[in-house]
Structure 1
C-alpha cells in the first residue's frame, strides 16, 4: 500500500510539474521563492557570514577558547580590527597574544590604536609562498580586498584600487615569532584561505593549530578552490568541521557532499582538533 501510494504521488507530481513550473516562473513567484530559499539557507549557515552576524562568529570563536587562559590568536585579514577587538572584549581578559595580519596601509592607523592587548601587526598578505602580490579592491582599506581579480555581481569595481604588497606564510611567522601553539587561526582573506592553509602545512601536521575559523563563498570562484579542497586537507589531519549558523550555533559537517560547494555570499566554518 505504501509503495503504491508513493508511486501515485510521484506520478501526480510529475503530471503537475509543467503547470507548476509556469507558476513558479512568474516574476513575483520567482522573487518570493528566492527570498525564502535564501532565508532557509542562512538558517543553516549557508551564506550567513556576510558581516551582519559578526557577534555570532565571535560567539563561536569564544567557544573554542574555553579553558584557555592566555590564547594565541592569528587574525589573518584583520582589516580594521573589528573581529579581534570583539573577541577580546567577549573573552574579558587582557591575557594572550594577537597577531594581526593586514596588508592594506589604510587599515594600519586603526590597528595601531591598540584595540587589543599584546598585539603584533604583520603588514603582509598570507599565502602558500613568501614574496609579493597585487591586491585588488573597490577602495583603499576595503573589507573585500583580494589577491584575486574578483567580478562578483553585487560588488562595485574591484579593479578600482590596486596595490603591490608583501606576502608571508603562517609557517614562516610561527617560526619567526617562535610560536608554540595557535589556539585560533582566523582566515578572512577573500578567496585565499586555502592557499594560506597550504602555507601552514607544517603547523597543521604538528598540531600547533588547535582551531581554524575560515570563510568559503563567492571569492572561491575566483581562486578556483572548492570546499572539497578544505575537506581533503583538514580531515586527514584530524580536524572536525562545523558550519557557523546565526547566533554562533554550530552545525557539524559530518561528511563531504557537493551541497557544501555553496558560492552565494559567504559561509563561515570552524575546523578543530579540540572541539568534540
Structure 2
C-alpha cells in the first residue's frame, strides 16, 4: 500500500507507536523521498528505535499520543515490547513481566502544529488498545481534511481499552471510507454489529475527497460482500453514484 501511494507523490507520515521501527523502515524502503515522524514513549524501546531507524528522512520523538497531553504510566513488557500498553493485558497474556514506566503524551493536532506539518498523507497508529484515543487527538486534522490515509490496529487490546469497531466508524465515517487491509487490497465496508469480533486486523480509513479512480485502482479498493457491503451501500445511499463510479464491486 505504501509503494502504491508513493507512486502518486511524496509522502509525509506519522508513525504513532513506532516500537522498534519495523513499519518506519518499510516506509523508508518503499519511498524515495518520503518523510516519517516516529513517536514511541517507552525509553528502552525508543533506544532500540533510534538504533534501527537512522535516516535523514526520519524524525524520532520520545512521546506517546492520546486525546489529551499529560503524563501517564504505561505497562512496559520486558520480554516483548511489541505488546507494551497503557492497559493491563495480563489477564489475556498470562504470566508476563510488566514494568510500570511513566511516559509523556501529546496529541496529533499539537504535534502537527509544532512540527509545521499541515498535511499528512499517511497516519499509522499501533498503540495496543490506545489507537482510538490517539486518533481522537487528531480531531482538527480529521475534520479539516488534512489526513489522507489512516492505518489502525483492531484486536483484543481494543476490548481491554473498552473500545469497539463501532467507535472508529462513529468518529471517521463522515469523512472517510473504512476498509479492511487484505493482501490483495482494501475491502471497503460499512458497519454491521456482527463485525465487532475483536479479531486481529489492520483497518485503513481513506478520506472520501482523496479518492479518485486512480486511487481506487492503485489500492485495489473493492466493496465488501455480505452484511458489510449492504451496510456500505446504505451509508452512501445519498450519494449512490459515488459507489457506482469509484468503488469496484
Q: Does the pair score TM above 0.5?
A: yes
User: What does the per-residue CA deviation read over 1:26-83, in whole Å, with 9 as the maximum and x for residues that have no partner?
Assistant: xxxxxxxxxxxxxxxxxxxxxxxxxxxxxxxxxx333344312x21110001011111
Is 1:77 the counterpart of 2:17? The answer is: yes
Q: Distance in 1 between matches of 2:111 and 2:203?
A: 23
Deviations 1:198-248 (A, max 9, x none): 111001111111110000110011111111110011011x20111012x35
Cα distance, 1:161–1:232 mapped onto 2, change above 3 Å: same
* Counterpart residue number, 2:62: 123
CA-to-partner distance for each residue in 1:248-274, whole Å, 9 max, x for gaps? 532211x1111221223x210100113
Aligned length: 209
Summarize the Cα distance change of 1:115–1:248 in structure 2 as closer, same or farther, 3 Å threshold: farther
Q: Deviations over 1:81-115 (max 9, x none)?
A: 11110122123x1x132100001111233332444
Matched, 1:267 2:201: yes
**Higher relative strand content:** 2
1:146 matched to 2:123: no
Q: Which has the larger radius of gyration?
A: 1
Q: Which runs of 5+ in 1 are unaligned?
A: 1-59
SS in 1 for 2:154: strand
Q: How does 1:228-239 map to 2 (within 5 A)?
A: 228-236=166-174, 238-239=175-176
- Secondary structure of 1:107's aligned partner: helix
| TM-score (normalizing by structure 2) | 0.78
Within 5 Å, which residues of 2 pair with 1:130-209?
Answer: 130-139=69-78, 142-151=81-90, 153-154=92-93, 156-157=95-96, 160-209=98-147
Structure 2 portions without partners, runs of 5+: 217-249
TM-score, L = length of structure 1: 0.71
Ranked by relative contact order (alpha carbons within 8 Å, sequence separation 6 or more), the top structure is 1
Report the RMSD for the aligned CA atoms in angstroms: 1.8
